[in-house]
Amino acid sequence: MNNNKISNPKTEVEQTSKMNDKDYITTILCVEKAIVKDYATSLTEASNNSLYDDYFDMFEDVSRLQRQIYNLMFKKGWYCLETAQEDKINQKLNMLEQEFPQLEINE
């Protein structure tokens, strides 16, 4: 087993030409992720506070549902994570620390 992976034991599903539980839930997760992104865009473009509040409530609901689906997939071993190497984290942090002052100047 790869030491860089974080996962649970995989729940096996029948491999056929028909969709199985893993296929369905993977599709649902992809759709939910897309909806979350669309609501995020809607929030940034809402024309008034009432509309923004409605979008925000829907965004929270969909985000929560997306997270529940992810958690179920992770529990079943159908979604695994990769641990980040410390040197890559430090490299990204250094890059962001160098770019941050530039953002402040451009305000």
C-alpha 89/C-alpha 94 separation (Å) is 9
Tokens 């860089």, residue located: 4
Q: Distance between CA atoms of 38 and 32, rounded to whole angstroms? A: 10
How many other C-beta atoms lie within 10 A of the C-beta of residue 46? 15
pTM comes to 0.71
Residue extents of the structural domains in the chain: 18-80
Averages of pLDDT over each 10 residues, the chain, 107 residues: 74 88 94 96 94 96 97 92 87 87 64
| Gap between the Cα atoms of 73 and 87, Å rounded | 29
The 8 Å CB, 24+ separation contacts for 87-90 are: none
Q: What is the pLDDT, as a whole number, of residue 1? A: 47
